[in-house]
């Protein structure tokens, strides 16, 4: 079974304690897509919720080694939604790209992918389009997909309906290609065409996976691309065994 690494997100409980979590909807969707989840936990000894992005210390060599050990166990990495990005997330993404591990970024995860090898620049939503819906079981606004993009090849449509649960949009992404825009002109999807599968989308296909065909196409394609890596690993292990006979 294909193994998908998912970095856990962090938040405060009602009593103030900090927790790491994996959303229940994402867990169920990965199981329906026949993927085995490998939780990837943050490696630094600090309170991620109470530490500002500019105050995160640089990762030590030992902490980087832990992240690389996680990546040895996975065939793909899905960067989920959340409320904060850390140096841990950025190093994890860099290593995925360097090791040609397929990545899918959702919402905050797409915003992380958009900042690959450059600093963040985010824009708060100021639009009549509903980017912060409350109901999980509906699609809220249209997204136009750029032809000749990876996303277009996956969905094969010029325009789709998507859900939306965010306050900020990507301002720029110089090291990625924009592949989708919302009706109000905001960036809704990005990709890279060199190396392994690299796709980021602002909406949440894991939430609409059960009732929306386009969402299933995105998740299932990511799983298939990760499965190719898994099969390649098995082949790499098998060949030396055969040569020893």
**Whether this model's pTM surpasses 0.85:** yes
Task: Choose the catalytic residue: 96, 107, 173, 176.
Answer: 107
- Is residue 204 among the annotated active site residues? yes
Q: What is the reported pLDDT for 237?
A: 46
- Is residue 206 among the annotated active site residues? yes
CATH class of the region 2-243: alpha beta
Tell me the per-residue pLDDT of 121-171, one tens digit each, with 9 for 90 and over.
787 877 777 777 788 889 999 999 999 999 999 999 999 999 988 888 888
**Which residue reads 């900090």 in tokens?**
18
- Is residue 107 among the annotated active site residues? yes
Domain ranges across the chain: 2-243
Residue 133 backbone phi and psi in degrees, to 5 = -70, 160
| Helix then strand then coil, % of the chain, to nearest 5 | 35, 25, 45
Cβ burial, residue 73 (10 Å; 0-12/13-18/19+): exposed
Task: Choose the catalytic residue: 141, 166, 169, 204.
Answer: 204
């Amino acid at each position: 079974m294909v193994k998908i690494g998912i970095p856990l997100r962090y938040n405060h409980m009602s009593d103030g304690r900090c927790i790491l979590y994996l959303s229940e909807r994402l867990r169920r969707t990965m199981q329906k897509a026949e993927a085995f989840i490998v939780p990837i936990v943050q490696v630094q000894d600090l309170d991620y919720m109470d530490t500002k992005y500019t105050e995160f210390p640089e990762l030590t060599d030992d902490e980087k080694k832990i992240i690389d050990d996680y990546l040895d166990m996975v065939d793909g990495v899905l960067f989920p939604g959340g409320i904060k990005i850390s140096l841990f997330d950025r190093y994890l993404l860099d290593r995925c790209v360097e090791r040609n591990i397929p990545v899918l970024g959702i919402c905050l995860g797409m915003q992380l992918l958009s900042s690959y090898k450059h600093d963040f620049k985010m824009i708060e939503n100021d639009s009549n389009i509903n980017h912060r819906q409350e109901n999980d079981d509906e699609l809220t606004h249209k997204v136009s997909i750029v032809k000749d993009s990876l996303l277009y090849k996956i969905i094969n449509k010029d325009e789709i309906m998507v859900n939306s649960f965010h306050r900020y949009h990507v301002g720029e992404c110089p090291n990625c290609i924009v592949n989708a825009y919302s009706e109000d002109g905001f960036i809704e999807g990005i990709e890279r065409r060199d190396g392994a599968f690299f796709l980021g989308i602002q909406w949440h296909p894991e939430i609409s996976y059960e009732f929306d065909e386009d969402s299933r196409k995105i998740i299932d394609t990511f799983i298939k691309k990760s499965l190719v890596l898994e099969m390649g690993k098995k082949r790499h292990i098998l060949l030396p065994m055969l040569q020893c006979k």
